[in-house]
Structure 1
Amino acid sequence: MEVIAFIIGVVLMVVGLAVSIALHEIGHLVPAKKFGVRVGQYMVGFGPTLWSKRKGESEYGLKAIPLGGYISMAGMYPPSPHSARTGRAGGGFFATMVQDARAANDETLVGDDDQRVFYQLPVYKRVIIMLGGPFMNLVLAIVLFTILLSGIGVQTATTTIASVSECIPADSTRTECVDSDPAAPAAQAGLQAGDEIIAINGAEISTFTEVSTAVRDAPDERIEVVVLRDDAEYTMALTPAAVERQVVDADGLPAVDANGEPEVAVVGIVGISPVVEFERQPVWSGAQTAATNVSAVAGIIWQLPVKVWETGVDTVTGQERDPDGPLSVVGASVIAGEVAAADAPILNRVSALLSLLASLNIALFVFNLVPLLPLDGGHIAVALWDGVKRVWAKLFRLAPPKPVDATKLVPVTFVVVVALIAMGAVLILSDLINPMSLF
């Protein structure tokens, strides 16, 4: 059953990725057609075509490798000069690439007077078309986070007691009691599973965090706890046991002192665990979470080459990978499989899969806005530069400038593509050889 669940998780992630890509390309397709641009193809995936259907002037289809997609718009760039159309490329490899790119672009044009082309659109319409893809990923992420947070809810520890320990083990790594272990203060005081803690030392309690704080800060000190049991209130006195526990920092990681030694502190403990329930959040929580994730991803996206390099080094040297490091689609699919096969309630697994897919769409949104061709952000940068040139000419009453010929940037695009392929290959190999695991 675990193997089947793992496979289901992987398949769900692949399907989720394909849907994300399809919506991304729809984000380009709809405004392009709205603005009158001739669209030759709408494809999800790369490689051999598995299925396609022509509707009107456009071909819609699915390809074998679901790692991307594209729409083919007429006249992404201005037509080549007549001399360049018939001349031979000079200057070597990159010059040939420029001419080939121009030739491919020219094939999408009907003629020199073709008006249904991308490059002739006003700047704002070109920006809308190119921004539409990433925007769809952002919208999908917000929808998924909203379903997760407002539809399902966030697991929250309540003030109701789920269980009461019989003892306080002297060794914090043990989960079973021995005769030498002292009895748990909660059990001694008579607390029971199902009791709802409503006050401690006269202060009203509304969250389990408040319970934990009150107990932790009172080792070997007597406290009074008021609980609600069967619609009746009971006041019980207990003294939290003093135990040593390792201190953790704000990120939940073990804290160390100036000498690099683990920090420990004496805290109080009574031996209770809370009932955990899904608590639905306000409907705007999804958008807030998406915005927080966008900010976090944008803050580290410029470190991606370094992070990928470190991941490759860890794989070659056999070291454990950084848990906050980048993943390929393969790695994300493996984690999805682990989540689906985990020994946890189905709702917990669904929540984890939704969170993973939402985070993937945030990454697609931010990454595609990087201002480098062939990414959407690169096309937006070209359109904005064209707009700046036109405004400059208008301000100083100069002749209208020619449209920006982005085919001249093909060598830069080639370098970016090679870098993306190399980084993708490193991550895929690392995810196969040195996979990151949740468990």
Structure 2
Amino acid sequence: MTILLTVLGILVFVVGLLFSIAWHELGHLTTAKMFGIRVPQYMVGFGPTLWSRKKGDTEYGIKAIPAGGYIRMIGMFPPGADGRIQARSTSPWRAMIEDARSAAYEELEPGDEKRLFYTRKPWKRVIVMFAGPFMNLILATVIFMSVAMSFGFQTQTTQVAGVQKCVISQSEQRDTCAQSDPVSPAQAAGLKKGDRIVAFNGERVADWATLSNLIRETIGPATITVDRDGTEQVLNATLAKNMVAAKDSKGEVIPDKYIPAGYLGFAAATEIVPLSFTDSVGRMGDMITNGVDSIIALPSKIPDLWSAAFGDGPRKDDSPVGVVGAARIGGEVMSLDIPAQNQIAMMLFLLAGFNLSLFLFNMLPLLPLDGGHIAGALWESATRRLARIFKRPDPGPFDVARLMPVAYVVAGIFVCFTLLVLVADVFNPVKIS
């Protein structure tokens, strides 16, 4: 049964992956057609074509390898300086440029002269190239916000899950009380498991973050109002000064950093709590920020990834994962012994994270990514504007094809990194359980 559920989870993720890719390419397709650019192909996947159908002047299809997708637009690159588009050089670097230029005109038909990509104004080209990643951002936001507001997140509450019997510095990382350890303020005050703290020093509290801050700011006598079996009771406690985990401005614990603060001595219970619209927007913002930080940190993770793939190093929780790794996680989610609604929520969060990664990755200003074409169009717009201001000759369209040697290098790096992640995902995968 576990194997069946794992396979089901993988299939669900693959379907979500194909939809995300198709959704991305749909952004490119619709905006290209809106600006009159001819699009001969709209394909989901790479490799051999499994199915296709032509409608109008576009062939729509699905290919065998669900690792991406593409649309073909006529005239992605302008002709060379001499007006020619055919490859004609024996220089390997120059040949890359001319081969790319020639491929952009392979399906040129009579009447296409006015339907070429490069002839569109830079702002239109920016919209066409940005529309694909933006569709992924929209999908990620809709999924994330919907699940956050309807299902929610595992959140600490003001309910008591357990009472610490003595005062132990959190930096010691031990649970057993020594004879010299004083009794914890919570134990001395009579706080019990199941109590829900509703007020601290007379101030009503509804969430753990507020209560935690009030406790940390207090050393000495304090009153604690608890809801115990439906009846409110006031307990008197004398909070101790203790070394506790430091927190950042967002309330997140900073690893291995401790500060002196007020200490009560109990563990907060956790519940899955739906978020408000405002809190969901804040969490989505944090998700985007963390995504940007993760992409910036990718080069620094390569040594650990190499060790995990080809050595005996552990696969860290924050290690990069590819399509195979994400699919395995999807399979693992479906095999977990948790309620079905939790499985659905986790799968949706996984899909939202994948779409956000597609958006951020494609916005890198490097060819052959969408961000590289956007950067080229913006550069052209800037140079033409400066030429008008200083009354110089129009420099014409920016020839993105000249960057193809760099694009091949970037693509080679991406392929090598993808293969490294693939090996790690197969032989030393990230596991959520």
User: How far off is 1:309 after superposition?
Assistant: 4.2
Equivalent residue, structure 2, for 1:90? 90
Equivalent residue, structure 1, for 2:179? none
> CA RMSD, aligned part only?
3.7
- Match of 2:143, SS state, is helix
User: How far off is 1:200 after superposition?
Assistant: 4.1
Distance 1:254 1:37, change over 3 A: closer
Residue 428 (str. 1) matches residue 418 (str. 2) = no
Task: Give the whole-Å Cα distance in 2 for the aligned partners of 1:386 and 1:208.
Answer: 52
Equivalent residue, structure 1, for 2:375? 381
Judge which range, 136-145 or 395-404, deviates more: 395-404
User: How far off is 1:50 after superposition?
Assistant: 1.3
Q: Tell me how many residue pairs correspond in the alignment.
A: 421
User: How far off is 1:190 after superposition?
Assistant: 8.1
Distance 1:353 1:64, change over 3 A: same
Distance 1:285 1:119, change over 3 A: farther
Name the aligned partner's letter for residue 31 of structure 2.
P
Equivalent residue, structure 1, for 2:15? 15
Equivalent residue, structure 2, for 1:123? 122
Give the 5 Å matches for 1:278-293. 278-282=273-277, 284-293=278-287
Task: Give the whole-Å Cα distance in 2 for the aligned partners of 1:360 and 1:86.
Answer: 39
Judge which range, 72-81 or 422-431, deviates more: 72-81
Contact 1:37 1:118 in 2 (8 A): yes
Name the aligned partner's letter for residue 47 of structure 1.
G
Distance 1:201 1:120, change over 3 A: closer
Equivalent residue, structure 1, for 2:298? 304
Contact 1:218 1:268 in 2 (8 A): no
Task: Give the whole-Å Cα distance in 2 for the aligned partners of 1:391 and 1:83.
Answer: 23
User: How far off is 1:285 after superposition?
Assistant: 4.0
Equivalent residue, structure 1, for 2:5? 5
Equivalent residue, structure 2, for 1:371? 365
Contact 2:18 2:44 in 1 (8 A): yes
Give the 5 Å matches for 1:98-117. 98-111=97-110, 114-117=113-116
User: How far off is 1:23 after superposition?
Assistant: 1.0
Equivalent residue, structure 1, for 2:144? 145
Residue 331 (str. 1) matches residue 330 (str. 2) = no
Task: Give the whole-Å Cα distance in 1 for the aligned partners of 2:234 and 2:147.
Answer: 38
Give the 5 Å matches for 1:257-272. 268-269=264-265
User: How far off is 1:155 after superposition?
Assistant: 3.0
Task: Give the whole-Å Cα distance in 2 for the aligned partners of 1:245 and 1:183.
Answer: 13
Contact 1:149 1:286 in 2 (8 A): yes
Contact 1:154 1:278 in 2 (8 A): yes
Judge which range, 8-17 or 82-91, deviates more: 82-91
Give the 5 Å matches for 1:209-248. 209=209, 224-229=223-228, 232-236=231-235, 247=245
Give the 5 Å matches for 1:397-436. 397-436=391-430
Name the aligned partner's letter for residue 204 of structure 2.
E
- Match of 1:106, SS state, is coil
- Match of 2:324, SS state, is helix
Judge which range, 104-113 or 426-435, deviates more: 104-113
5+ residue gaps, structure 2: 177-182
Distance 1:354 1:100, change over 3 A: same
Task: Give the whole-Å Cα distance in 2 for the aligned partners of 1:408 and 1:378.
Answer: 12
Distance 1:297 1:11, change over 3 A: same
User: How far off is 1:187 after superposition?
Assistant: 11
Task: Give the whole-Å Cα distance in 1 for the aligned partners of 2:222 and 2:375.
Answer: 64
User: How far off is 1:188 after superposition?
Assistant: 9.5
CA-to-aligned-CA distance 1:287-309 (integer Å, 9 cap, x gap): 44333333333344344334234
Distance 1:229 1:43, change over 3 A: same
5+ residue gaps, structure 1: 176-181, 258-262
Name the aligned partner's letter for residue 374 of structure 1.
P
CA-to-aligned-CA distance 1:38-79 (integer Å, 9 cap, x gap): 110111111111111111110111111111111111111123
Distance 1:168 1:346, change over 3 A: farther
Contact 2:222 2:237 in 1 (8 A): yes
